């Protein structure tokens, strides 16, 4: 946790961001995580993965916009993304993940809701699913409330829960009761010990408990992890309970554990690759590095392995 905190705090320094953005040293690393900056490139990458049998969730990077104009631009960019998916021969394999703060959540809750509904209306025509990503803890309740509200009209949307928050057990029960499609993750934001488990062991324990509950009771849950030990434990659980491999999906990040992604696909599981793109890649990139100390060494090694 100390290593993770150090990376996240250091990443917030303007000098560090300038260095990472300008240094050639980081370009291969960034390319490992990010599927380019433009719409056409991202759709092409998504279609390539779909040809291999993977599902894809496209994520246009950019959060915490500062103005109403930026919120409108972000919403329009998502609408363009949905148009691009609708035109793809692989549209059935591709959905999108969104950030509500990119739609104006910091500026005006009603505006963010209106923009969210615009996306969901477009998604109906594109016949695709929209997932509202979970952001830092100040947005947890707002995100859950907004998703629950719009699902009264648009059922093809869902959200994400983070196992490291103490509150997640209660949120999980509420949203399972709503038949809301959920992705379960450990959590990647820097949070206080007052609201989040401080140790990896505790986070892993809660993640396994909550993932198993979703596998049994959830509506087509997304189990998001790159941890081989956790995945093996959940695979054993699936077999022991006779759970259909197609009743849920594994989700993994673009560029991380591609060997494991392929293995799970070959074993008959549904596997969705979370595929981020766009110019605002820096916050996402630093969270990926900070998730666990092994990520830095793993990425460096994998750059030379393939």
Tokens 């509950």 -> residue: 213
The answer to whether 167 is a known catalytic residue is no
Phi, psi of 150 (to 5 degrees): -75, -25
For residues 111 and 143, is the Cβ–Cβ distance under 8 A? no
Of the residues 59, 106, 133, 204, only one is catalytic, namely: 133
What is the distance between the alpha carbons of residues 185 and 259, in angstroms, rounded to a whole number? 20
Local structure of 269: helix, strand or coil: coil
Which residue's structure tokens are 């016949």?
127
- Nearest to 29, CA basis, from 293, 298, 273, 224: 298
Number of neighbouring beta carbons within 10 Å of residue 83: 13
What's the number of CA atoms in the CB half-sphere (13 Å) around residue 113?
Answer: 14
The set of residues, in sequence order, having a beta carbon less than 8 Å from that of 209 and lying 6+ positions away, is none
Q: Which residues contact 223 (CB under 8 A, 6 or more apart)?
A: 183, 184, 211, 214, 215, 234, 248, 249, 250, 251
Q: Establish whether 133 is a catalytic residue.
A: yes
User: Could you tell me which residues come within 8 angstroms of residue 90 by beta carbon, excluding any fewer than 6 positions away?
Assistant: 46, 47, 50, 51
CB atoms closer than 10 angstroms to residue 245? 15
Backbone angles phi, psi at 106, to 5 degrees: -75, -25
Known catalytic residues are 133, 183
């Amino acid at each position: 946790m100390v290593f993770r905190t150090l990376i996240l705090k250091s990443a917030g320094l303007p000098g560090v961001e300038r260095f990472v953005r300008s240094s050639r040293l980081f370009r291969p690393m960034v390319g490992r995580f990010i599927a380019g900056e433009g719409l056409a490139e991202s759709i092409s990458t998504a279609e390539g993965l779909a040809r291999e049998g993977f599902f894809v969730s496209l994520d246009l990077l950019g959060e915490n916009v500062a103005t109403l104009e930026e919120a409108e631009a972000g919403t329009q960019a998502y609408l363009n993304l949905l148009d691009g998916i609708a035109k793809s021969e692989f549209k059935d394999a591709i959905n999108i993940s969104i950030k509500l703060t990119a739609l104006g959540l910091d500026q005006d809750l009603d505006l963010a809701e209106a923009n969210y509904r615009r996306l969901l209306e477009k998604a109906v025509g594109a016949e695709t699913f929209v997932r509202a990503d979970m952001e830092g803890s100040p947005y947890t309740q707002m995100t859950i409330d907004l998703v629950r509200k719009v699902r009264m009209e648009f059922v093809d949307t869902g959200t994400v829960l983070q196992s490291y928050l103490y509150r997640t057990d209660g949120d999980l029960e509420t949203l399972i009761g709503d038949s809301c499609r959920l992705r379960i993750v450990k959590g990647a934001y820097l949070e206080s010990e007052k609201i989040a488990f401080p140790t990896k062991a505790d986070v892993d324990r809660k993640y396994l408990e909550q993932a198993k509950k979703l596998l049994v009771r959830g509506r087509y849950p997304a189990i998001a992890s790159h941890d081989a030990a956790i995945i093996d434990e959940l695979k054993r659980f699936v077999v022991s309970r006779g759970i259909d491999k197609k009743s849920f999906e594994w989700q993994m990040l673009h560029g991380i554990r591609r060997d494991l992604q392929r293995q799970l696909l070959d074993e008959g599981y549904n596997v969705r690759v979370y595929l981020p793109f766009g110019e605002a890649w820096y916050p996402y990139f630093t969270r990926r590095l900070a998730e666990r100390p092994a990520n830095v060494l793993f990425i460096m090694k994998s750059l030379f392995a393939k």
